[in-house]
Amino acid sequence: MLSGFKRGDITGSVGLSTNDARDALVNANGEVDAIPLNSGVYAIFNLDHIKDHKIRRALLLAIDRPELLEQMSVGEAKPSELNTPIAPGIYTSIDGMKQEGFNKETAAKLIGRDLKLNVVALADSDYEIVANYLAEKWREIGVDVMVTAVDKSNIQQNCLIPRSYDVLVTQLQLGADSDVYAYWHSSNIKPQGLNFANYSSPVVDMALFGGRTALSSATRETKTKSFVEQWLIDIPAIALYQPNLYYLHSPNVKSITSAPLVDATSRYRDVYLWTVETRNLYKTP
């Protein structure tokens, strides 16, 4: 897509990686729009392998997430801060909840023993870049880290289904509501399930079920907040950032105006407003 844009074969391209978006800004003679997605990039712990809560807390404290946002920036645009398993902007009571911040000294003390980690990410993706950043920070506190970049054609069968990782760096689609049952409820701890952390908590299970079946928005918010509170205590994953959709286009193309987007295909919801050229067709006297 990027090569086609540079040749002038196309006037717009979506789905660029961070590195391609940077390349486009410098070399493609176009414009790059960064539109937030209702998704989250997470470092998900396999709790069957990393059972010690102190270790998971140490790995969280070792990550300088504001620094990571800068590293994943494209020009002036950078990903948005993310702290929970719920998309920002749904409940203000949850938007204010935070993970613990960067504290390298405490992290080093909590590790306390030899630790080896296999961090898995999709090859040639932003997640591989993030995985290498995490590995660098965890090595600084004494962890022996190997990053395994897996091809798209193999990752499902070789890694996700058998849960062959200690840490998985991936993106979860959070959607426009607070229902993330599929990712964190214990019923989805199965080979084809999406609970990649193998996370099981009676408190979380009750809160997730209550949230998705509640009829009132107030009850749904209360249940969802209870889930997030326990999620932040248990640390089955680290919320790293809310990613952007990068859209490369010629200067005369005017298209995506809505933000954030639920997912990449949501950009078409105002397609009737897209233009390539504009001009006055009628002038009043």
- Model confidence at 238: pLDDT above 70: yes
pLDDT tens digits along 179-208: 999 999 999 999 999 999 999 999 999 999
Order across the sheet with 12-14: list the strands: 12-14, 244-249, 31-36
Q: Are 127 and 120 contacting, i.e. CB atoms less than 8 angstroms apart?
A: no
pLDDT tens digits along 154-178: 999 999 999 999 999 999 999 888 8
- Model confidence at 131: pLDDT above 80: yes
- Model confidence at 256: pLDDT above 90: no
- Model confidence at 11: pLDDT above 90: no
Name the least confident of 123-127, 231-235, 264-268: 264-268
Q: Which fold has domain 39-241?
A: Dipeptide-binding Protein; domain 3 (3.10.105)
Name the least confident of 57-61, 162-166, 211-215: 211-215
- pLDDT score for 285: 67
Domain range summary for the chain, segments of one domain joined by +:
2-36+244-273, 39-241
- Model confidence at 279: pLDDT above 80: no
Paired with 44 in beta bridges are 168, 237
Q: Are 277 and 252 contacting, i.e. CB atoms less than 8 angstroms apart?
A: yes
Angstrom distances, CA of residue 173 to CA of 54, 104, 145, 201, 202: 28, 30, 27, 22, 24
Look at strands 39-45 and 31-36 and give their pairing: unpaired
- pLDDT score for 267: 82
- Model confidence at 264: pLDDT above 90: no
- pLDDT score for 10: 84
Place of tokens 């949501």: 266
Task: Give exposure, 101-127, as e/b (b: 16+ Cβ within 10 Å).
Answer: ebbeeebbebbeeebebbbbbbeebbb
Most confident of the ranges 139-148, 208-217, 239-248:
139-148
- Model confidence at 262: pLDDT above 90: no
Most confident of the ranges 46-50, 171-175, 265-269:
46-50
* One-letter amino acid of 81: E
Q: Mean pLDDT of all residues in the chain? A: 92
Residue with more model confidence, 26 or 110 = 110
Q: How confident is the model over 57-70, as a mean pLDDT?
A: 97
pLDDT tens digits along 137-153: 999 999 999 999 999 99
CB count in 10 Å sphere of residue 100 = 14
The percentage of residues in the chain with a pLDDT greater than 90, rounded to a whole number, is 67
